Every structure is written in C-alpha cells, then in structure tokens.
Structure 1
Amino acid sequence: MAEVAIVSSAFGAGSIWRDGHAAWFGATKRSGACAFEVRRELMHDADAHPDALRALGTALAGSGLWPVWSTPDTLYADDGALNEMQLRHAVECGRALGARFVKLQLGGFAGEAHAARLAAILEELGVKGRAEASAPRVVVENGQLEQGGKLAQFTALFRALRAAGEDKLIGMTFDIGNWQWTGEAPLMAAVALAPNVEYIHCKAVVGEGARRFACAPAADDPLCRAALARLPSDVPRGIEFPFDEPRVEEDAARYVAWLASA
C-alpha cells in the first residue's frame, strides 16, 4: 500500500483561504492519508513566515501527518540561470515546516544543470540526498506551462546531472495530469522519468486547451492506472483533484483508499 498525501487544494482553494490549512488536518487524518501538502500560493504572507510555519508543522505532526511544502518558485530563472535565492527560500520554509519534500517548479531550465553549484548549495543547506526526517528533499514538478512542463527539459536535466555524477542530487514530482496541459504523453514521460520520481501527483483532466480542469479519476481510469504502473510503487502519491464539496470527508476517505492500492 502506497503512502497517500492530500494536497490542500483538494479541499477547495476558497476553503483554504478562508479557514487556513490547519482546519483540514483532522479531515486528512480521518481519511487515512499519511501526509498533507501545504501550498504557498494559498497562504497569506504572514502565514508563510518561519515562525508561523514552525507552528503549522507542529500542528501537523500532532495530527499524525507529515508535510510537503509546495511553492510556485522555480529552480531555474527565465534566462536558464540557477535560481539560488528562490531555492534557498523554499528550503528554509520547508525546514521550518518540518517538510519531507520541498517542491518547486522547474522553470526555465535550458540545458545547463549547474550541478556543482547546485550540489554546493544543497550541501550548505544540509538537504543533499534523499528525504530524511531531519532534512527535506528537494523535488521539481512538471508544471502546466510550456516552460517547466516539457518532457525534453526534464530528461535533459537528469541527463546532465548524471553526467556530472550527481544523478540523485534532486528528485522529481511527477504530475500525471499536468503533462496534458503542455501536450506531452504522460505514459511516455512516466517511462522516461521513472528512475527520478520520488513523489506523484494524481489527477484526471477534463476540457481542452487552456480550458482544462483537474478532476477525480474514475475508478477504472486507464491513464492514471497505466501511469502508476510505470512509476515507482514505493513513493508517496498525492491527491490533487477537488473533492465533492457536499461530501468532502467521504470523498477523501474513498479516494485515499483507492489511490493507496491503485
């Protein structure tokens, strides 16, 4: 059975803005999930201060959950340079929260991994290597934009890191649904990137073009099941689709059970 995380947005962005992340820790625990993904874009600035994040992390741990810190910050700037300031800030926030993973967007990676500099920063921050209880693991996610959402960028990134002898320097969050925004084939991406995947976001997609929306996969959804079969079975899986508002807790429990065994 895989560990399952619930991404805060599954409870509705409006609900998170109104009630705060902590209001949903109880429902997450009752659903059978192991983890909760805190999202920077759904927080007021004061709530993202290190002292506030430490308090939030303490509440999460008290609920019996481990956290993921998710930020829209990017590992690479638009010009392809390593985005050192955003990386440092993301790690500092994740450490304050007590996160197992610190998840960034890839951004403008253009072929140069800056492996030596990236390794030095992660070593300095004490987060080099796989996720441990004492230090968060940095992972990059495929996003919904062309920049930071193309398969070629990710294969080039991990190829460059391997060539530098740093193939395990960072990991990947593989978002099954996001590939469809950028016109990529999720199953092809799963085969190519499986060795680097350490966390999975699961969602189905409805609509076309820019008018696409995340939705819950059907029980027999062929894409999610096929993608999960090609990805590592021993990494956490995150629910990133909206629950039905009138029956949030029932939905959460049902989908946690489904995703844990899918």
Structure 2
Amino acid sequence: MKKDQIAINTLVYLEDLKAGLPQSEMLDWVHELGLKNIEVRREFIKDRQELKDIKTKSEQYGMNVFYSIPEVLYDNQQLNVETLELYCKEAYDMNASAIKLNIGEYGQVSEADLKAITRLTERYSVKLTVENDQTESNGRSQKILDFLTEVKKLGGPITFTFDIGNWLFQGEDPVENAKLLQPFVTYIHIKDIDQEKNTRLLNDGLVDWKRIIGILPKEIPAAIEYPISKKDVLVSEIQKLLNV
C-alpha cells in the first residue's frame, strides 16, 4: 500500500478526544507522520470554529479530509434531506472531500432521492459514502448490496466504505463480503477484531486484513480506525500497511 493512501481516523487519538482536544490539532500530528489523509469524526466536533480551523490546517498541509458522521441517510423510509444538507455544508466549511453515513431505514431508493442527493453533493463539492457499522440494522451485507445495487441502477452518487472488522459483529465473513461488495468500495476502514469483539493491533485478531486489501480496489484511501495510545505503536501499524 502506498503512503498517500493511508488515512488516520481521529478515533486513533481517543484519549485526547475524551480529554477535549480539538481535532484541528490532530492534523498537525498526521502531518508529522508524513500522511496526507485524515478522517474527522462529527461526534467530537466542538463548534463552527473547529470546522474553520480544520479547513485552515488542511489547506496549509495539502491534506485530504474525510468526514465521519454517526447518523443515517434514511429514517422511517424517508431521505433526511435537511440533515444531509447540514452535513454537506459542514464538510464544505472544513474542506472535506467526502462524508460517510449509515444507510438507515429505507424502503425503496427513488430517482427523486438521488436527484436531491446529487444536487447537494454537487453544490457542496462533496462525495457521499455509506458504511457497514456494528449494528444488525446497518451492518448486514445483503441490505447494503441491495441498496448500492439499486443506487447504481439509477445512476446515483453513493459509494461504499468497507469496514473490514465490523462484519464480525454480525457473524459475517469479511473476506466473502469483500468479494461481494468490491465493485462499490471507494474507502476502507482498517481494524482487527478478536474473539471477544475487541479491537486489536493488526495481526493480533481474527481478521485476514491483508487478503481483504488484496481483494478490494487498489489505490483507494484506507483509514486506521482504532485507538492507539502511543506514537511508536501507530508508526508500527502504518508500516504494516506499507508492507502490504
């Protein structure tokens, strides 16, 4: 894997997030690691000033920003247009290139929905991706495949973030799901999971992450997304990805 593919999800710095450190400061740390991608988490954004600070730092470092949003695209079978616009505007204000949500409770994907999504993503110059989370409602491969297939059939602008570890929470095989969903994947979340469903350092859990990376599209961004308390350990994890 090339270095310019690797991203740091700010969950890596969970202790600092809990201590109240703004994510804008973490762009400095990612820059010091020699990386060009960071994934910012909405649940830890403090205020609008932080969005501006992230934009300033990202422009200073030439850094690509991804925006992780722990919310759903659909609720009660209705597209959340107003909240989607809010997220797109926040992404625009921080210079983020993409936003990530979960699918939520959708009934049927309509052309009207996709026109609304296209209008917002074009207005705010942002891409939209959905992810498999750790819940049954948003983490099952069949639902995700059905949704993305329908979106593609209608020409919609939604792609997939493949979290390699979250499948284990649903008892699904991440390798088989990589084969199944590969055509839709534009972003990867890297983590390893053990028998007790705890995140572990790469090679210390059950996930055949190297094989999965070999199946998924080449040269797309891949984010380290699990807490790592020491810089030297993080550097070691980055090196594992570089060796793939």
* TM-score (normalised: structure 2): 0.90
- Whether the 8 Å contact between 1:31 and 1:256 is mirrored in structure 2 is no
Deviations 1:128-172 (A, max 9, x none): 9xxxxx8221000111111111101111012212332x1x52111
**Residue 5 of structure 1, CA deviation:** 0.5
Deviations 1:188-232 (A, max 9, x none): 111111111000000001243xxx222221289761011111100
Please state whether the residue corresponding to 2:217 is helix, strand or coil. coil
- Counterpart of 1:131 in structure 2 is none
**Residue 184 of structure 1, CA deviation:** 1.5
- Superposed, 1:70-81 pairs within 5 Å as 70-77=68-75, 79-81=76-78
Letter of the 1:230 counterpart? I
Instruction: Select the residue among 8, 11, 14 that pairs with 2:13.
Output: 11
- Counterpart of 1:203 in structure 2 is 191
Identity of aligned residues (%): 24
Structure 2 CA distance for aligned equivalents of residues 249 and 63 of structure 1 = 20
Letter of the 2:70 counterpart? P
Letter of the 2:200 counterpart? C
- Whether the 8 Å contact between 2:163 and 2:189 is mirrored in structure 1 is yes
Letter of the 1:236 counterpart? P
**Residue 124 of structure 1, CA deviation:** 2.2
- Whether the 8 Å contact between 2:11 and 2:226 is mirrored in structure 1 is yes
Instruction: Select the residue among 225, 236, 240 that pairs with 1:254.
Output: 236
- Whether the 8 Å contact between 2:192 and 2:204 is mirrored in structure 1 is no
Deviations 1:79-101 (A, max 9, x none): 22222222222111111111121
Please state whether the residue corresponding to 2:194 is helix, strand or coil. strand
- Superposed, 1:44-83 pairs within 5 Å as 44=46, 47=47, 49=48, 51-77=49-75, 79-83=76-80
Structure 1 CA distance for aligned equivalents of residues 103 and 212 of structure 2 = 21
- Counterpart of 1:41 in structure 2 is 43
Structure 2 CA distance for aligned equivalents of residues 96 and 85 of structure 1 = 17
Aligned positions, number: 241
- Counterpart of 2:81 in structure 1 is 84
1:52–1:10 CA distance, 2 compared to 1 (3 A): closer
Structure 2 CA distance for aligned equivalents of residues 179 and 251 of structure 1 = 25
- Whether the 8 Å contact between 1:95 and 1:135 is mirrored in structure 2 is yes
**Residue 126 of structure 1, CA deviation:** 4.2
Instruction: Select the residue among 231, 241, 250 that pairs with 2:216.
Output: 231
Deviations 1:32-84 (A, max 9, x none): 3221111011233xx2x3x541332212332342111111111111x222222
Structure 1 CA distance for aligned equivalents of residues 161 and 117 of structure 2 = 18
- Whether the 8 Å contact between 1:215 and 1:242 is mirrored in structure 2 is no
* TM-score (normalised: structure 1): 0.84
RMSD after superposition: 2.1
Structure 1 gap ranges (5+): 129-133
Letter of the 1:223 counterpart? D
